[in-house]
A and B are shown apart, each in its own frame.
Chain A
């Protein structure tokens, strides 16, 4: 599904190249649950952003669903966001002015899903995440864990084939973190959604099926999680 070949990323500063990623080559298949781990500044988030097409690599080739997306124009990229990719952020990044319901609805509006279909999908998601009673609340009226649930629900609304999560539990207490990770695991196993997450926590990584260890911009280790 995702094929990275010799991905490099550096920032040139006064003629000095500061490498963030070096020669990253890997393949992630449909249905995998990959955790990217590594120390601070290793390039984890940059790698995830490149996968999510939020950043462009300096060199290398990136194939997404068999298509070269290394230098994609904005229109095509947004098409992919609407149909294939869901993002989950550490800081949740819900839209403060929108209610829970509207936050989940927003991607469907952009995708131009009909109103009946929209209503049923949102009802379904609210039901699944036990948030029917909270649908008219604003993000700042929810706890962090609840906000992240809304964030995931929003990512799922457009029925993506892949979810990219940048430290999704980084701001959460451990009980809430466990809830989120179980949810990811369930989504991965039951619905076959590909999940790629960046995490610091060894424990969270164990929920996945594969771990990529990154240090100094290089993949040091690529191992499968043994259940």
Chain B
């Protein structure tokens, strides 16, 4: 019986090619989209969850207190003294490892030099992460200060082989390190990813601030692994006690937070996690199942539309002895088979389009992120899809009374079936319209942020890290570059223009009313030509200048800082920072750095030649870009041969700031498009069937003198009505949702009125084209053909 059912189902598929195509392709697209999004969700969801005991690993967060006792800022960071202190006082603690934030640093095998992701950490890190050692001993690998663990790909990059144990590499052109371990590459979805790992004991030599045990410099990460079953709240209470004992003057507090949660729940309000990227994950899960549902709806609609024909079959089978359950099984077999065919297609589609998808989002997803349990989940989705898609026809059709079906008394226009089908179509198009409107609003928002003036001309600016010799030979570099004519002006600074510097609050100004200041200020350190090069508008005073020797104790401040100080004539006034007095010599307009979506902290620019790390140059625009870059490369390479060249264009750096919203835009665009496509596919199928059923009616009408247009109208109108209804539902709903989304941004655009009709009429046109195509074909047919039969 089962074999026959299968055979007949296949024949049915083959015979009704249009509907089979719509069903299989629609379902395959729906499933592929669903799988793709789920792959992305799986990737994000498993962030930092690879280790066997990842649930017991915590990172240290620092809360900075603001006004009225609330926590103003929470960030991942901790002090050097924190780790050793709790190691003593916390019985529930299993391992603790201090780390730096990591950075791109030079590592070389002779001439073979690359800038790769480096990380320093205490040896306990090897017990928290299950690194898979290809070579070396995890128990001793980080014991000696001059050791380094490299990943497989780093080893291959430097030596062309993974057989590199005990070979020597040179770090930052200063330290010769012995390779003590080679580990498998870590997956992309881990926060503490590195290309090579060095011991903390070396870091204490590289960065002196790491050696000094203090409670004030929050520039390090402390990872903690607790024993099984430790209660986080109790542990944090204990930590607070330890901290109180050691850090008497505390403006901050440190707490543990599960490392695996940081990626998705990394947004904090008053020290409490209030979500974060998880919201996007929910959105994507919704989107994934929404599209799948649309495809399922197509399936159900096609099946009910065909019900008149299938009803006859049900009637016959019942008179020859079929009972209801055998019919239900038959219909479900059919839908299951169709689903499985669709699954095969969808996995092919997934493999085919994954590279494109990865490119669009600049991620590296791979089907292997699905583990065995996810595959079971997918199997579950497939079975549920088959059941949902097949259930309505199975239970609805099998209930038909044989005599009614054989006498053709069942009209597919029964009240129930049509209204349900209409509801489903309306639902589909609601979803599609909401997605279109969201896409338009997201694009408008991105555009709005992009068009917000950055505050200076980013186009001719390039920057490069001040590595190796560039620090000591900066003056030489500067004079040679200026002489070459490739660069009109340049400056060195502690951070890139686009990036935030160190935050501090220990500042006082003349006439300050509060005892201590809680407002965080951003610190940038530079030397000469800061304003001249970047072109930020100087509203008052002057830039740092070689003519004034006193500039070492001078600062420039941003307009928003002046507002906080309350100075009427700021130039010449002083501010006190950690006990030192500084003269304000210049005031500049606020410009966009860090996040373009919100207003940033006020900024103070200091003068110090020792603390710079980044060079920014304004290119000479009368030369070609290529010749400028070639000249800069040549001169830099000559002065700093150990380091590979790394020139970044500031306009690219700024463009990258829109990535998160761009991802959202791309996804909603892509999946919105798919949703509409699949919905239209379904609509096409429905019209085809409706036209087929009404062939005779159309023949009669034509004989009576109906025009082509009359007939097209007749066929299209009922479908157009459904689209209009979905517009009426979807437009206010999407207005509400997008408004909610927009107000999350400090700087946001308004929803323009024209977006709504644009989305509505766009969908309407799309549906109209779909429907008209079939309507035209039917209406054009010769009435004799239609009437000949029966």
> Interface segment, B226-234, B311-319, B496-504?
B311-319
Contact A82 B11 (CB under 8 A): no
Task: Give the contacts of A72-123 with B (CB-CB under 8 A).
Answer: 74-75, 78, 81-82, 87, 89, 93-98, 102, 105-107, 109-111
Task: Give the contacts of A151-167 with B (CB-CB under 8 A).
Answer: 154, 158
Contact A78 B8 (CB under 8 A): no
* Complex CA–CA separation, A98 to B326 (angstroms): 17
Verify if B4 is at the interface (C-beta below 8 Å from A): yes
Contact A110 B406 (CB under 8 A): no
* Complex CA–CA separation, A87 to B321 (angstroms): 11
Contact A74 B323 (CB under 8 A): yes
Contacts of A87 in B (CB 8 A): 319-320
Which residue in A49, A75, A106 is a CB contact (below 8 Å) of B323? A75
Verify if B360 is at the interface (C-beta below 8 Å from A): no
Verify if A225 is at the interface (C-beta below 8 Å from B): no
Contact A95 B313 (CB under 8 A): yes
Contact B321 A81 (CB under 8 A): yes
Contact A93 B8 (CB under 8 A): no
- Least CB distance, A7 to chain B, in whole angstroms: 16
- Least CB distance, A77 to chain B, in whole angstroms: 9
Contacts of A179 in B (CB 8 A): none
Contact A93:B406 (CB < 8 A) given known A78-B323, A81-B321: yes
Contact B321 A111 (CB under 8 A): yes
- Least CB distance, B618 to chain A, in whole angstroms: 76
Task: Give the contacts of B316-368 with A (CB-CB under 8 A).
Answer: 316-324, 326
Give the bracket for the number of chain B residues in contact with chain A.
20 to 34
Contact A106 B403 (CB under 8 A): no
Contact A78 B321 (CB under 8 A): yes
Count how many pairs of residues, one from A and one from B, have CB atoms less than 8 Å apart in the complex.
Answer: 60
Task: Give the contacts of B58-105 with A (CB-CB under 8 A).
Answer: none
Contact B403 A154 (CB under 8 A): no
Contact A158:B4 (CB < 8 A) given known A54-B402, A95-B316, A97-B11: no
Which residue in B15, B315, B321, B323 is a CB contact (below 8 Å) of A158? B321
Verify if A55 is at the interface (C-beta below 8 Å from B): yes
* Complex CA–CA separation, A102 to B312 (angstroms): 17
Which residue in B8, B318, B406 is a CB contact (below 8 Å) of A81? B318
Q: Mask for B390-433, Cβ within 8 A of A = 1, else 0?
A: 00000000000111001000000000000000000000000000
Which residue in A82, A95, A96, A105 is a CB contact (below 8 Å) of B321? A82
* Tally of contact residues, A, Cβ under 8 A: 26
* Complex CA–CA separation, A93 to B320 (angstroms): 11
- Least CB distance, A104 to chain B, in whole angstroms: 10
Contacts of B321 in A (CB 8 A): 78, 81-82, 107, 110-111, 158
A78 nearest CB neighbor, chain B only: B323
- Least CB distance, A106 to chain B, in whole angstroms: 6
Which residue in B15, B313, B315, B322 is a CB contact (below 8 Å) of A78? B322
* Complex CA–CA separation, A94 to B15 (angstroms): 16
* Complex CA–CA separation, A93 to B318 (angstroms): 12
* Complex CA–CA separation, A71 to B406 (angstroms): 21
Which residue in B1, B313, B320, B401 is a CB contact (below 8 Å) of A154? B320
* Complex CA–CA separation, A82 to B401 (angstroms): 17
Q: A52-B319, A158-B320, A158-B321 are in contact. List 17 more A-B contacts (CB 8 A).
A: A54-B401, A75-B323, A78-B323, A82-B321, A87-B319, A93-B315, A93-B316, A94-B316, A95-B8, A97-B11, A106-B320, A109-B1, A109-B4, A110-B320, A110-B323, A110-B326, A154-B320
Closest 7 CB pairs of A and B: A82-B321, A54-B403, A110-B321, A107-B320, A81-B321, A87-B319, A93-B316
7 examples of A-B residue contacts, CB within 8 angstroms: A49-B403, A78-B318, A78-B321, A93-B406, A97-B8, A106-B317, A109-B1
